[in-house]
């Protein structure tokens, strides 16, 4: 994992908002359940690609699930790297493109074809929440620049570059071929933003950005972010007879998915901060802690309960139920080949309509035909 200040993994934040570096400088880098899980998956992948054993999981079940996802990634990497140079968890220098002395990043997998000069930089994403894309991905482009530099130090010429995202838990794979010219152009831009980031004082060079703000540790108290959210929210209101009234923006000025993400992330961050303050015993004027709904009831000692039920003259069949294992467990039980015999019995409801940014590569979900609607343009009377 990279520990550089201008880390490639956070380039999506400091490139659009260089001032975020100063804002986050003294903030603790707290691990989350997702980041810990991701670290384990990366360690497992590295050991598997290097032909080594790795057992650092909390349970056999966790290890089996993680293994199945990670193996999908490592199998693909090994297939693509056959007959080529493969570098796993390779440290690459990115200082020339960030401006930070000795700045570096760690690429999950670098593949280089000596015969064609084709360079591939492949990144494992173990997360489930956000679908990650390769095109214009700042982290991957910085890795590609560092990988290109590394390969060239061994006397090879890099003629073409592909960057790719492997997200096995979402069954998602995405790659992007980027020209050498575009990659170098990005490198120059990243260097200019890095120079600003390293010299900016707290409160300077803050440029709120949907993707960057969502994961920024300073978002709870960033005034620039708060002002951006305020503008997004209150641009939806106008005064009618002196009363603030919600109105729809014109189509050309509609709220974008990124703007909504910024508002939601800001609200979520504020709620989290308030909850943390209350848990720490800090009194707040408008908030307090109360006991929530109790969890589901369950027996603490099922053997003792069973013994008592038997004394009550109940038959075992009266208080136990036997049923088939869940579908996912049956699928793992029978294996891929025999599973095909059961597929015809599998039913699945179609997915529901889901709002998503236009940048999402999935096809448009057509919920209704234009023929399903009446032609309201022929109605001259105003609608009540």
Q: Residue 60 above 80 pLDDT?
A: no
Regarding whether 75 and 49 lie in a shared domain, the answer is yes
Place of tokens 């448009």: 364
- Dist CA 8 CA 14 (whole Å): 9
Higher pLDDT, 23 or 355: 23
Q: Which of 225, 217, 142 is nearest to 184 (CA)?
A: 142
Say whether pLDDT at 369 is over 60. no
> What is the model's pLDDT at position 58?
61
CATH code of the domain containing 86 = 3.90.320
Q: What's the mean pLDDT in 10-23?
A: 95
Same domain? For 339 and 216 the reply is no
Share of the chain above pLDDT 90, in %: 46
Q: Which of 68-82, 225-239, 264-278, 302-316 has the highest mean pLDDT?
A: 68-82
- Do both 85 and 175 map to the same domain? yes
33 and 82 share one domain: yes
For residue 45, tell me if it sits in a domain: yes
Name residue, tokens 């220098």. 93
Q: Is residue 286 part of a domain?
A: no
Between 14 and 260, the higher pLDDT residue: 14
Whether 204 maps to a domain, the answer reads no
Give the chain's domain count. 3
With 0-12 / 13-18 / 19 or more C-beta atoms within 10 angstroms meaning exposed / middle / buried, residue 164 is buried
Mean pLDDT across the stretch 70-96? 96
- Based on the number of CB atoms within 10 Å of its own CB, is 194 exposed (0-12), middle (13-18) or buried (19 or more)? buried
Q: 317-357, pLDDT tens digit by residue?
A: 877 877 787 788 888 888 888 888 888 888 888 877 777 77
186 and 270 share one domain: no
Domain boundary among 329, 344, 359: 344
Three-state SS at 107: strand
Residues 95 and 178 in one domain: yes
Give the pLDDT confidence score for residue 309 in this predicted structure. 83
Q: Enter the pTM of the model.
A: 0.73
Q: Is the pLDDT of residue 1 over 50?
A: no
Residue positions counted in the chain: 384
Does residue 251 carry a pLDDT above 80?
no
Residues 209 and 224: beta-carbon distance below 8 Å: no
**Helix pair angle (138-153, 180-199), 10° resolution:** 110
Express as a percent the part of the chain with pLDDT over 70: 88
Residue 81 lies in a domain: yes
- pLDDT value at residue 82: 96
* Domain co-membership, 218 together with 188: no
* Residue 366 located in a structural domain: no
Residue 38 and residue 123 in one domain: yes
Kindly report the number of other CB atoms within 10 A of residue 262's CB atom. 24
Same domain? For 239 and 264 the reply is yes
Contacts of 232 (CB under 8 A, 6+ apart): 255, 259, 260, 262, 263
- Average pLDDT of the residues of the chain: 86
On whether residue 128 sits in a domain, the answer given is yes
- Please check whether residues 326 and 189 belong to one and the same domain: no
Domain of residue 222: give its range.
Answer: 210-279
Q: Which of 166, 199, 232 is the last residue of a domain?
A: 199
In the prediction, which pLDDT does 344 show?
Answer: 87
Q: Which of 199, 231, 265 is the last residue of a domain?
A: 199
- Does residue 378 lie within any of the structural domains? no
Query: Does 189 share its domain with 218?
Result: no
Q: Are residues 111 and 145 in the same domain?
A: yes
For the cut 50, the answer to whether the pLDDT of residue 108 exceeds it is: yes
pLDDT per residue over 180-211, tens digit each? 999 999 999 999 999 999 999 999 999 998 88
Q: Is residue 99 part of a domain?
A: yes
């Amino acid at each position: 994992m990279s520990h550089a200040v201008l880390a490639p993994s956070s380039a999506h934040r400091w490139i659009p908002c260089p001032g975020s570096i100063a804002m986050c400088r003294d903030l603790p880098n707290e691990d989350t359940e997702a980041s810990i899980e991701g670290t384990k998956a990366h360690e497992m992948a590295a050991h598997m690609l290097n032909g080594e054993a790795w057992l650092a999981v909390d349970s056999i079940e966790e290890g089996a699930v993680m293994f199945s996802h990670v193996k999908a990634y490592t199998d693909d990497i090994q297939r693509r790297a056959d007959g080529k140079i493969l570098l796993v968890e390779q440290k690459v220098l990115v200082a020339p493109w960030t401006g930070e002395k000795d700045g570096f990043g760690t690429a999950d997998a670098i593949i280089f074809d000596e015969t064609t000069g084709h360079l591939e930089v492949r990144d494992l994403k173990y997360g489930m929440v956000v679908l990650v894309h390769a095109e214009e991905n700042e982290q991957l482009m910085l890795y590609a620049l560092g990988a290109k530099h590394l390969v060239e130090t061994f006397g090879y010429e890099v003629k073409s570059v592909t960057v790719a995202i492997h997200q096995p838990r979402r069954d998602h794979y995405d790659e992007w071929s980027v020209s050498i010219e575009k990659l170098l152009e990005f490198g120059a831009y990243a260097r200019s933003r890095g120079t600003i980031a390293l010299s900016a004082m707290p409160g300077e060079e803050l440029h709120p950005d949907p993707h960057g703000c969502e994961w920024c540790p300073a978002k709870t108290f960033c005034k620039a972010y708060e002002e951006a959210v305020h503008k997004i929210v209150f641009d939806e209101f106008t005064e009618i007879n002196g009363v603030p009234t919600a109105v729809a923006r014109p189509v050309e000025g509609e709220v974008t998915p990124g703007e909504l993400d910024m508002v939601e992330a800001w609200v979520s961050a504020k709620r989290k901060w308030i909850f943390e303050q209350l848990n720490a015993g800090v009194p707040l004027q408008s908030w307090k802690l109360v006991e929530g709904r109790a969890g589901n009831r369950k027996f603490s000692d099922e053997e003792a309960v069973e013994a008592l039920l038997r004394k009550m003259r109940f038959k075992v069949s009266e208080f136990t139920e036997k049923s088939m294992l869940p579908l996912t467990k049956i699928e793992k039980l029978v294996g891929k080949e025999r599973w095909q015999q059961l597929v015809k019995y599998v039913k699945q409801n179609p997915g529901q309509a889901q709002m998503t940014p236009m940048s999402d590569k999935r096809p448009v979900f057509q919920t209704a035909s234009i023929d399903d609607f009446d032609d309201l343009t022929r109605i001259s009377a105003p609608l009540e």
